[in-house]
């Protein structure tokens, strides 16, 4: 029932309706009307009074608000999509389709810049979304490797960071205009994409049905989308770089592990092989001394002595190297054992050295730990004997061995009152053959701490030293609980 019919039916009641009054040219005006049929009027002949108000501005504002809120929610949706970089390609496709639909564009496209084989700057069509009835151009070979120098009207403003917003007919006659017209494009809006201040490519919006004048809010929406896309590309690039770096690191680690294994094998084989000729040298030197010693002069006897001492030292190095190369992962050897018992064993074995160094060795109640007992014994024995050896003459060695319970490990420490170690030497002494004193001052091979480090690291722990030069050192290592 129309409003006027309702009025007639219910005299005295007010009825409202909105009417659009069409103009001959341009858009119509929206009006709000109120009608009333006076109560005592004759139902059929009586008059209806009406009053109308122009509400065009309210209506326009309402429409604008709806449009803006549509752009805003599209914007939010696009940001979410672009953040889901897992499926990057489909995120971009969805972004293009949301943006294209909400502004009513016919085609959305993305071009990426690069250098061609001759080093010239070119741009390439990479991705596209088109409205249903618009012919896609993604497979158009003419849109690949387009030289910047062939399309200056298009590329120059973009290079400078200026968007292109023009009707195709307004472009000067040029290759770009021709190419756009062949694709039936009537108007273009193109934004440059800058990444790390570098002109990376552009995002464009075509209209093939209208000579379109873009509204400021549409331009600002599409600009925001372009900026979001630039950030997403940048993030994606960083992720790719990170992934490449990770792969490189993994390859490097695998290579290092392999070459380490080979090196250990080499050390093992060579030190093993050297033992036999060394035994021969040693035994012939002994024979020489025994048989001809009496007939040789003092200098010749000294030569034999130096050679024998050299052979003994070489044997020490070979044996230590063998120990070093034998340190394995030893996972299968892991078992629980009592550290107190282990320390007591080490002390019993080194009784002579302890006596010589007038040593006092203290250890609190040490825990039961889990690991390769033989390997951990090597560690503690090296640390304890070093604590005995590296102390000034005339000072009785004082050693303390204790354990601290950490959240997921035990921290075992061996503290001495020896020479101490200067800060600059505290790291390198854990490397193979690194020593602070010459052999003449204090004999040794420089392999002991390298063995400790290898064992501790194979157990997933760390080893380090804290020391004050001239006062003493505290060697510490962790072992998983
Ligand atoms: P070596 O004792 O056979 O030289 P190590 O690898 O055990 O080999 O030790 C390397 C060097 O670290 C030693 O030569 C010594 O200079 C220094 N060092 C090790 N332990 C101590 C310690 N407790 N106090 C002072 N210096 C030490």
CA 431 vs CA 44, 315, 454: distances in Å: 113, 20, 10
Question: What does R_g of the chain's alpha carbons equal in angstroms?
Answer: 44
Distance, CA of 127 to CA of 106 (rounded, Å): 14
Please choose, from the candidates 437, 322, 324, 424, the residue with its C-alpha nearest in 3D space to the C-alpha of residue 389.
Answer: 437
Report the C-alpha gap between 366 and 358 in whole angstroms.
23
The C-alpha atoms of residue 111 and residue 41 are separated, in whole angstroms, by 72
pLDDT score recorded for residue 87: 76
**pLDDT over 80 at 86, yes or no:** no
Dihedral sign from CA coordinates of 300, 305, 306, 308 = positive
Pick from 325, 309, 314: nearest CA to 274: 314
Q: Give 429 Cα–ligand 1 centroid separation in angstroms.
A: 7
Q: Whose CA is nearest to atom 11 of ligand 1?
A: 435
Q: Could you tell me the distance, in angstroms and rounded to a whole number, from the CA of residue 425 to the centre of ligand 1?
A: 10
Decide whether any atom of ligand 1 lies within 6 Å of the 390 Cβ: yes
Angle at which helices 448-458 and 298-326 cross, to 10°: 10
- Token representation of residue 217: 């809010």
Distance from residue 316's CA to the centre of ligand 1 (Å) = 15
Quick one: pLDDT at residue 64? 84
pLDDT (0 to 100) of residue 40: 64
Coil, strand or helix at 232: helix
Note the pLDDT of residue 41.
56
Q: Please name the residue that has the structure tokens 């030289």.
A: 147
State pLDDT tens for residues 250-266: 999 999 999 888 888 88
Tell me what the mean pLDDT of segment 403-418 comes to: 96
- Rounded to whole angstroms, how far apart are CA atoms 202 and 199? 8
Point out the ligand 1 atom lying closest to the alpha carbon of residue 446.
Answer: 8
Write down the pLDDT at residue 44: 61
How far is the centre of ligand 1, averaged over its atoms, from the C-alpha of 368 (Å)? 27
Q: For residue range 293-339, what is the model confidence (pLDDT) as tens digits?
A: 899 999 999 999 999 999 999 999 999 988 888 887 666 678 999 99
Nearest Cα to Cα of residue 2 among 20, 13, 22, 16: 16
What is the per-residue pLDDT for 45?
Answer: 61
Contacts of residue 409, defined as CB under 8 A and 6 or more positions apart, other chains included, come to 461, 478, 479, 480, 481
Residue 336 φ then ψ, to 5°: -85, 140
Residue 261 pLDDT: 86
Is 91 a residue whose pLDDT tops 90?
Answer: no
Alpha carbons 202 and 156: distance in angstroms, whole number: 12
pLDDT in the model for residue 25: 56
Mean pLDDT taken over the chain:
90
Query: Mutate which of 414, 422, 444, 463 to test ligand 1's pocket (most atoms within 8 Å of Cβ)?
Result: 444
């Amino acid at each position: 029932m129309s409003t006027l019919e309702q009025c007639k039916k219910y005299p005295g009641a007010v009825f409202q309706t909105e009417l659009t009054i069409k103009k001959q040219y341009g858009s119509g005006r929206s009006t709000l009307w109120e009608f009333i049929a006076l109560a005592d009027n004759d139902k059929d002949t009586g008059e209806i009074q009406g009053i109308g108000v122009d509400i065009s501005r309210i209506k326009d504002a309402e429409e604008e608000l709806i449009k803006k809120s549509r752009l805003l929610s599209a914007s939010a949706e696009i940001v979410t999509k672009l953040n889901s970089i897992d499926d990057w390609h489909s995120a971009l496709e969805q972004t293009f389709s949301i943006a294209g639909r909400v502004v009513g564009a016919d085609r959305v496209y993305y071009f990426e810049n690069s250098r061609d084989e001759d080093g010239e700057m070119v741009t390439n069509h990479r991705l596209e979304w088109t409205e249903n009835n618009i012919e896609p151009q993604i497979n158009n070979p003419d849109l690949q490797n387009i030289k910047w120098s062939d399309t200056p009207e298009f590329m120059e403003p973009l290079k400078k960071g200026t968007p292109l917003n023009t009707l195709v007919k307004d472009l000067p006659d040029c290759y770009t205009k021709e190419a756009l017209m062949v694709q039936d494009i009537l108007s273009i809006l193109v934004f440059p994409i800058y990444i790390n201040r570098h002109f990376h490519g552009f995002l464009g919006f075509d209209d093939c049905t209208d000579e379109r004048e873009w509204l400021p809010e549409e331009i600002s929406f599409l600009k925001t989308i372009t900026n979001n896309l630039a950030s997403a590309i940048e993030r994606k690039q960083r992720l790719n770089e990170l992934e490449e770096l990770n792969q490189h690191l993994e390859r490097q680690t695998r290579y290092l592990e392999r070459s380490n294994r080979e090196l250990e094998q080499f050390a093992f084989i060579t030190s093993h092989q050297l033992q036999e000729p060394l035994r021969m040298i040693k035994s012939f030197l002994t024979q020489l001394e025994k048989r001809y010693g009496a007939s040789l002069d003092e200098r010749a006897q000294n030569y034999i002595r130096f050679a024998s001492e050299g052979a003994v030292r070489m044997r020490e190095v070979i044996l230590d190297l063998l120990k070093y190369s034998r340190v394995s992962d030893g996972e299968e050897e892991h078992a629980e054992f009592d550290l107190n018992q282990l320390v007591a064993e080490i002390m019993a074995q080194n009784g002579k050295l302890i006596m010589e160094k007038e040593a006092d060795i203290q250890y609190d109640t040490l825990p039961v730990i889990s690991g390769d007992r033989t390997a951990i014994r090597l560690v503690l024995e090296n640390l304890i004997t070093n604590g005995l050896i590296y102390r000034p003459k005339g000072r009785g060695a004082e050693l303390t061995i204790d354990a601290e319970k950490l959240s997921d490990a035990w921290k075992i420490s061996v503290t001495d009152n020896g020479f101490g170690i200067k800060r600059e030497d505290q790291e390198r002494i854990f490397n193979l053959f690194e020593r602070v004193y010459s052999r003449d001052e204090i004999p040794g091979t420089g392999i002991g701490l390298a063995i400790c480090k290898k064992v501790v690291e194979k157990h997933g722990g760390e080893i380090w030293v804290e020391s004050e030069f001239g006062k003493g050192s505290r060697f510490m290592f962790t072992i998983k609980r």
